[in-house]
Amino acid sequence: MAVMRYSEALRLAMTEEMERDDSVFICGEEVGQYQGTYRVTEGMLSKFGPRRVVDTPISEIGIAGMATGAAMAGLRPIAEFMTWSFALEAMDALVNHAAKITYMSGGRISCPVVFRGPAGVGTQLSAQHSQSLESWFAHTPGFKVVLPSTPEDAKGLLKTAIRDPNPVIFMENAGIYGQRGEVPEDTDFMIPFGQAAVRTEGSDITLISYSNMVLKCLKAAEALEKDGIHCEVIDLRTLVPLDMDTVVKSIQKTHRAVVAHEEWKNVGFGAELASRIYEQAFDYMDAPIERVGGADVPMPYAKNLERAAIPTDLDIIAAVKRALA
């Protein structure tokens, strides 16, 4: 195991896969000479050259279209969006082409492309650059949707995404690029999709989340432990496919649940998750499911207003206490 930052784990995964497979390449705005806005692709241009680390024009629909076409032609592109908020410019290429081509070709054409980049809210990037959009893509058949919360998962899940024959939406929370953790150095280390992780075990209530919000759930669980409340924290890791077996098994033990995410609460992924829990585990529930999500407003720029719009560990603690009455 090596200790490295979340961003370094992503770079390691891409480097190992590019060394293993000549069909893998990176494309995106400033991924080469500038070495990535968040330095995720630092040093990769000098290592692999401009044919495999491709600086593109400032055109998200161009990036998505080129990557989709390259994947259809047999390559394995990793397309970086400078931020997932910019991917809205490319929704036609993503939703109507990348996600649907295998279905529309009757399975004759595969589309092994990874669309990745920073996501999440905060850091004073304001309304157009600070959005958590995972539900938009989880809603679209044809995509796999991945949101790692740790450096280890960042490496293992990205390697799985690059080798997957389907289009993968890979969202990296910008707020945790600097987070450090142990990462396996094994070049064959991979984490399967659809396999949630139980981060802490507990008996009183289940906290279910993904990406940066998992860290807030863990912080809340640590604080609640001092009050004698034992939380089980589940990190979904992938929204599509979704590991409901782990969630249901936990609720059969704890009988209560809080679902938490940074995106808007209204029609957020927590609503889908709560619905599935009611469908599959209603008889085990002793209290209504609590949802924690972002305020239903465009993200403010002012730091105090931004702070008020983003859910925190204190919001999770309050939700737990409501569920426990």
Q: How far apart are CA 31 and CA 47, in angstroms?
A: 13
CA distance 38 to 60: 17
The catalytic position among 60, 80, 290, 306 is 60
Range 20-23, long-range pairs (CB < 8 A, 24+ positions): 20/187, 21/76, 21/162, 23/74, 23/75, 23/76
State how far the alpha carbon of 125 is from the alpha carbons of 81, 120, 302, in Å: 16, 10, 10
Residue 317 φ then ψ, to 5°:
-60, -45
* Distance between CA atoms of residues 223 and 229, nearest Å: 9
Question: How buried is residue 226: exposed, middle or buried, by Cβ count under 10 Å (0-12/13-18/19+)?
Answer: exposed
- Cα-based torsion angle of the residue sequence 209, 212, 214, 216 in order, rounded to the nearest 10 degrees: -120
| Residue 80 annotated as catalytic | no
Instruction: Give the C-alpha separation, 71 to 66, whole Å.
Output: 9
Q: What is the CA angle 190-196-201, rounded to 5?
A: 120
CB 145 within 8 A of CB 238: yes
Q: Are 236 and 210 contacting, i.e. CB atoms less than 8 angstroms apart? A: yes
Catalytic position from the list 8, 17, 97, 129: 129
Token digits of residue 317: 């603690």
Whether residue 103 contacts residue 234, with contact meaning beta carbons closer than 8 Å, is answered with no
Is 60 one of the catalytic residues? yes
Q: Which helix (H) or strand (E) holds 5?
A: strand 2-5
Cα gap 53→144, rounded to integer Å: 24
Q: Which residues are catalytic?
A: 60, 129
